[in-house]
Amino acid sequence: MNALHNPERWMMIADEDGVVAVGVVATHRQRDSSVHWTFETAVDRSMRFPAFEDKVVSEVLALVPPGAETSGWSRRPSLDASLERFGLSVVRSLSEMAVTLPVESSPTVTEQDFLVRRFNDDDVETLVSINAAAFGDHREAGSLDSEEVESLMLESWFDAEGLLFHEVGGVVAGFCWTKVHDNGEGEIYRIGVDPQFHSAGIGRRIVLAGLEYLATKRGCSTGFLWVDEANAPAMGLYDAIGLTTRSRNREFSPALTTSHGR
């Protein structure tokens, strides 16, 4: 169920002019079956002062069960400062990288032994297994299962033509999943290469094929993606293709418990 359909998963603060803050919590089941809670908030620009930011953090933390392992995401300096007042510090930084489309370097997809094809309904298990091999125990990305894939396939943005599979010698070596947003920007939503094919140029070709699809088939003039700045292979790859950072989303931890009192 989408968190916004569950009143226990989100909060809202309003004044006489309307909504000035919202907060939402999400759960992530980890490989060891423990549950990690994350929270995000949005605050009206006029309300981004310390006392109000602290109130919003308190309210959103009240949605988390006492004692749960929790971290918060921030994209604004006023929230960074508030989270630091709550004793949290940055443990992860995600970079939003973007590039103007089309990119100059186009992938060569006609080489013998290398095939790009679209996703078919019977590819669900293949997608799950390559994703698991590529992402391992990554907290969010590693847990993709067939149920989640099937649920994503029902999303309005899902486009089987834009979920590209890359085969080498008849074996699926990696995938590039694209997503077009309402504002017309095209996202590389997820990309993974089976580790046995790493460092062979597949990742570069996959990203370029995805960006080419977004530009030529979907008419996108901007391509973007989110990447963990600690992911050196991915950062190196995107930098080499010409993507540059346009914003950041930072995770603050260590785990808070809702009983810490502030």
Ligand X SMILES: CC(C)(COP(=O)(O)OP(=O)(O)OC[C@H]1O[C@@H](n2cnc3c(N)ncnc32)[C@H](O)[C@@H]1OP(=O)(O)O)[C@@H](O)C(=O)NCCC(=O)NCCS
Residues that bind ligand X (CB under 6 A): 134-135, 191-193, 198-204, 227, 231-234, 236-237, 240
Residue at shortest CB range from ligand X:
203
| The pairing of beta strand 222-228 with beta strand 186-193 | parallel
CA–CA gap between residue 120 and residue 152 (Å, rounded): 14
The nearest distance, CB 154 to ligand X, in angstroms, is 24
Closer CB to ligand X, 23 or 203, in the complex: 203
The nearest distance, CB 192 to ligand X, in angstroms, is 4
CA–CA gap between residue 43 and residue 72 (Å, rounded): 14
Torsion of CA 131, 135, 138, 139, to 10 degrees: -10
- Stretch (H or E) spanning 148: helix 146-152
CA–CA gap between residue 68 and residue 28 (Å, rounded): 12
- The answer to whether 258 and 67 are in contact (CB under 8 A) is yes
Residue 49's alpha-carbon distances to 45, 56, 60, in angstroms, are 9, 11, 17
The nearest distance, CB 188 to ligand X, in angstroms, is 8
Closer CB to ligand X, 35 or 240, in the complex: 240
The nearest distance, CB 226 to ligand X, in angstroms, is 7
The nearest distance, CB 134 to ligand X, in angstroms, is 4
Torsion of CA 56, 88, 262, 260, to 10 degrees: 130
Closer CB to ligand X, 48 or 138, in the complex: 138
Closer CB to ligand X, 88 or 243, in the complex: 243
Closer CB to ligand X, 48 or 204, in the complex: 204
The nearest distance, CB 255 to ligand X, in angstroms, is 24
The nearest distance, CB 214 to ligand X, in angstroms, is 16
Closer CB to ligand X, 116 or 227, in the complex: 227
Q: Which region holds residue 261: left if phi is over 0, alpha if psi is between -120 and 50, else beta?
A: left
CA–CA gap between residue 223 and residue 241 (Å, rounded): 12
Closer CB to ligand X, 1 or 232, in the complex: 232
Return the closest-CA partner of residue 104 out of 211, 17, 251: 211
What six digits make up the tokens of 66?
A: 């006492």
Compute the residue count for the chain: 262
Phi, psi of 247 (to 5 degrees): -160, 170
